[in-house]
Amino acid sequence: MNIVIIGTGNVATVLGKKLVSAGHHIVQVVGRNVAPAGQLATMLGSTSVNTLSAINKNAPFYLIAVNDSAIANVAKQLSLPGSIVVHTAASVSKKILKSISKQYGVFYPLQALNKEKTEIPEMPVYVDAVNEETLEILIDLGKTISENVSQASDEDRLKLHVAAVFCNNFTNHLLALAENYCKQENLNFELFKPLIKETATKVMDASPAKVQTGPAVRHDQLTIQKHLEILNAYPSTQKLYKLITESIQSHYS
């Protein structure tokens, strides 16, 4: 498939690479900033332009991979009748694209994409479209880069995003809090990395609810009290410690 990519961030870059290695051709990269657009185009064996008015209008497929908040503005400036146009956002309705073309939809990779990484992780893809014909094309495209392609409506995708926030953004923040605390307390955060890795590895083949351990689930109030005292110097971390402990204790009571 010949594809125009709009955007130069993490999603644009990683999806671009993945699509190219699946045999697709990126006919153009559109990015406001000259340098990143040029770099991404070079990486994908393509060319770049820096304004939406200079977009190649003859492609069959347009992938809008810009910030959620920028999609509406991009949509306003495009008219691509006869082409398929998708965005990649979890929590934005597909309808935001309806003025661009009659064949619009969403191509949402359920993964934390990072353009700095050389190894591209496995990514389930959720697609949605305004009609069956477009949906089938999106499913076929998805299957060229992922073993797991499913349909998810706007509402489903929003629901998926909530779970993704817990699995990725929130767990990462707990690690960031732990890292910050380790720095302050002169503890070597590096030595927690095997534990972090094992925590994720463990749930690859076990339900997280079945492998919950720690002072909270065993109602070890003595240890919890000692931990809360240590966290006196970290009020917001302490507040989270309390609330997550309560959540664990009510979840397993």
Residues 50-109 contacting its own copies, CB under 8 A: 67-69, 91
Q: Choose between 57 and 183: whose C-beta lies nearer to its own copies.
A: 183
Minimum distance of its own copies from residue 226's CB (angstroms): 6
What is the distance between the alpha carbons of residues 105 and 228, in angstroms, rounded to a whole number?
48
Q: Choose between 49 and 156: whose C-beta lies nearer to its own copies.
A: 156
**Under the criterion CB under 8 A, does residue 182 sit at the interface with its own copies?**
yes
Whether the CB-CB separation of 142 and 127 falls below 8 Å is answered with: yes
Query: C-alpha distances in angstroms, 149 versus 32, 73, 80, 85, 207?
Result: 31, 28, 26, 18, 23
Rounded to 10 deg, the angle between the 221-230 and 235-251 helix axes is 160
What is the distance between the alpha carbons of residues 154 and 114, in angstroms, rounded to a whole number?
24
**Under the criterion CB under 8 A, does residue 23 sit at the interface with its own copies?**
no
Tokens 């309560």 correspond to 246
Q: Considering only the stretches 32-40, 42-50, 51-59, 178-186, report the one whose residues sit in contact with its own copies under the rule CB under 8 A.
A: 178-186
**Under the criterion CB under 8 A, does residue 194 sit at the interface with its own copies?**
yes
Cβ neighbours, 10 Å, residue 40: 23
**Under the criterion CB under 8 A, does residue 178 sit at the interface with its own copies?**
yes
Minimum distance of its own copies from residue 83's CB (angstroms): 27
Tokens 């590895």 correspond to 201
Whether the CB-CB separation of 101 and 84 falls below 8 Å is answered with: yes
**Under the criterion CB under 8 A, does residue 233 sit at the interface with its own copies?**
no
Q: Considering only the stretches 29-37, 45-53, 98-106, 150-158, report the one whose residues sit in contact with its own copies under the rule CB under 8 A.
A: 150-158
Kindly state the number of chain residues that form the binding site for its own copies, as judged by CB under 8 A.
88
Q: Considering only the stretches 15-23, 41-49, 77-85, 182-190, report the one whose residues sit in contact with its own copies under the rule CB under 8 A.
A: 182-190
**Under the criterion CB under 8 A, does residue 32 sit at the interface with its own copies?**
no
Window 116 to 145, contacts with its own copies (CB under 8 A): 117, 121-124
Q: Which of 53, 198, 232, 253 binds its own copies (CB under 8 A)?
A: 198
What is the distance between the alpha carbons of residues 115 and 17, in angstroms, rounded to a whole number?
9
Q: Choose between 25 and 95: whose C-beta lies nearer to its own copies.
A: 95
Minimum distance of its own copies from residue 4's CB (angstroms): 25
Minimum distance of its own copies from residue 92's CB (angstroms): 8
Q: Choose between 133 and 252: whose C-beta lies nearer to its own copies.
A: 252
